[in-house]
Structure 1
């Protein structure tokens, strides 16, 4: 995109019709650009009759597994400094050496919680809150270790339905290692490359199909909600595909309403991927939205949003 912008400037200065080509590319991708770049120079004032609070979403990648205690305490301290009121975790996992009670102790400043996945076959989800958490539900995906959940959080007398979402994981890195190990001695280098390409392609297509079904299901549940909605989580999708647009339908992308600068949430691949999001109902006011670099245990960064909630 930067290259197209430079080409547009160059050919425009030279008054060449070639400028139409990069201009067309930029216009075609304008929606994507708005999903990763926002220009905003000040935060809006809280609307009269509204109360503000902060919510965060964070794929913690099982708190790094090896040193869960240290990672969970560091994250809790970070969320305290940022004055976050509600935290949505994906890939929240406990093990024998650091169980669920230990995790809850780390996040004791958030006394209310909803942790609904009760099996290691699923990549667990958890919501920790300083506000009361009412009923919730776990939604499992077909043929997947991913899942989503919702719970109702009462923020200053206003009930919000919070969806904590982890859409289908690509699994590219582990699949590539699995194939290479399996056929290391049996196939030639060219045959192995062809096998890796085919298996990778099939995995990508399967993941896309699953995310489409999962996004459709989430959209239906959002439409059925009797309360204002927040959708938080790891979509494993950039802001340019069906999954993003379907979930954004009827909701606001928090980055578009309150973010600024360049947005990415995946810490690798040259900071090119925005995969984690917070969407909100139109009745909620977006005040601030950011994704700080946090090198603790995960390949993702957290996303934090400040919102204004109308008081009842």
Structure 2
């Protein structure tokens, strides 16, 4: 077995210099997650490279373990210190199991969150499956969740004596014994409601809507719920600024050199506008979270990746359910862009995360629903 090279020789080597550069890259990218795009938008683009930097740091640790264990201590230390950031994109809990009901103390709460894409009400959304609006509403209504948070919600008024499959408040709420709170961003000429909704098997004792400049589909809502044991919790449901980019444009931009030239600059401008808007919206929400005295439970379509300012502000204050108990990437976007997790649930320190699941078997929207089980300590 060849002798290990001396430290002086190692410090002069190209591999060691590359390792230092990778470590610097990791630290710079993590620092950039703390910078809102409204203050310095290029920082948000640097944060997107963090998964690559973390992967290269792990590769460097493996390389030096084989070459010189003393040098390997440096990337290994960085790997340990940045493990929570690694878990944001690739959670590793292969041996996790959800305790059975009654097996562990604490008030158990089941939560479902989903961007339902207005239940595919428009013909272009349900042309492949005309029954998808009814299927999606029926699936949501049939779940055993105590709390349901829906983004891009849609409801048509119930007509006496007539069954309307799009009367979602009635089907998900009244018929299943859940109270409903709908935060409406628009009511059209037939009385149909667009916005977001929270359904609860627990009494709703308080409620409110938070607008970002003006009331659109991208806003926030909350409901205070009284649990059977007497505790009151607050549930936030929010939908941050959309990326404003068509999936086909993104695919075209990287599928060919001409596509990048034709689409790339426009996509970058729209992506930048979305980053700035979401950073402002997240700052508005975090101020509200810090003022709340109740245990918090958050459901959101962030429209942002786990390596972003928006996600970082939440991860600094709350537990992400997928990062806490999941295994794998946990992608939630149902489209041609792979490995995209933009739908999340977060809880405060008063909660224990027992289970979290992404429902890949429910393909009716462009987002997969998520469900979680929590226990209040």
Q: Give yes or no for TM over 0.5.
A: yes
In structure 2, relative to structure 1, the CA distance for the partners of 1:115 and 1:213 (3 Å cut) is same
Deviation at 1:292, TM superposition (A): 2.1
| 2:320 corresponds to | 253
In structure 2, relative to structure 1, the CA distance for the partners of 1:25 and 1:251 (3 Å cut) is closer
Deviation at 1:38, TM superposition (A): 2.4
Superposed CA deviations along residues 216-266 of structure 1, whole A, max 9, x for unmatched, are 111111111121101111111122211011123322212233334442211
RMSD: 3.7
In structure 2, relative to structure 1, the CA distance for the partners of 1:251 and 1:101 (3 Å cut) is same
> Does the alignment pair 1:172 with 2:233?
no
Deviation at 1:13, TM superposition (A): 7.5
> Does the alignment pair 1:103 with 2:158?
no
Whole-Å separation in 2 of the counterparts to 1:55 and 1:4: 36
In structure 2, relative to structure 1, the CA distance for the partners of 1:202 and 1:145 (3 Å cut) is farther
Whole-Å separation in 2 of the counterparts to 1:249 and 1:3: 22
| 1:231 corresponds to | 298
> Does the alignment pair 1:72 with 2:72?
no
Superposed CA deviations along residues 152-200 of structure 1, whole A, max 9, x for unmatched, are 11122221100001011102107949xx9xxxxxxxx96x864532221
In structure 2, relative to structure 1, the CA distance for the partners of 1:50 and 1:207 (3 Å cut) is same
| 1:38 corresponds to | 92
Alignment length (residue pairs): 296
Deviation at 1:96, TM superposition (A): 7.5
Superposed CA deviations along residues 134-165 of structure 1, whole A, max 9, x for unmatched, are 22111122265411101111122221100001
Residues 219 and 246 of structure 1 are in contact (CA less than 8 Å); yes or no, is this contact kept in structure 2?
yes
> Does the alignment pair 1:50 with 2:141?
no
TM-score, length-normalised on structure 1?
Answer: 0.79
> Does the alignment pair 1:84 with 2:136?
no
TM-score, length-normalised on structure 2?
Answer: 0.67
| 1:186 corresponds to | none
Residues 295 and 348 of structure 2 are in contact (CA less than 8 Å); yes or no, is this contact kept in structure 1?
yes
Deviation at 1:267, TM superposition (A): 2.4
Deviation at 1:48, TM superposition (A): 6.4
| 1:185 corresponds to | none
Q: How does 1:109-188 map to 2 (within 5 A)?
A: 109-120=176-187, 124-142=195-213, 145-156=217-228, 157-173=230-246, 176=249
Of structures 1 and 2, the larger Rg is shown by 2
The worse-fitting range, judged by mean Cα deviation, of 254-263 and 241-250 is 254-263
In structure 2, relative to structure 1, the CA distance for the partners of 1:41 and 1:251 (3 Å cut) is closer
Residues 325 and 355 of structure 2 are in contact (CA less than 8 Å); yes or no, is this contact kept in structure 1?
yes
Whole-Å separation in 1 of the counterparts to 2:56 and 2:76: 7
| 1:15 corresponds to | 67
Whole-Å separation in 2 of the counterparts to 1:92 and 1:205: 26
| 1:263 corresponds to | 330
Bigger relative contact order, structure 1 or 2 (CA pairs below 8 A, ≥6 apart): 1
Deviation at 1:87, TM superposition (A): 0.6
In structure 2, relative to structure 1, the CA distance for the partners of 1:120 and 1:201 (3 Å cut) is farther
Q: Secondary structure at the match of 1:137?
A: strand
Gaps of 5+ in 2: 1-51, 127-131
Q: Secondary structure at the match of 2:350?
A: coil
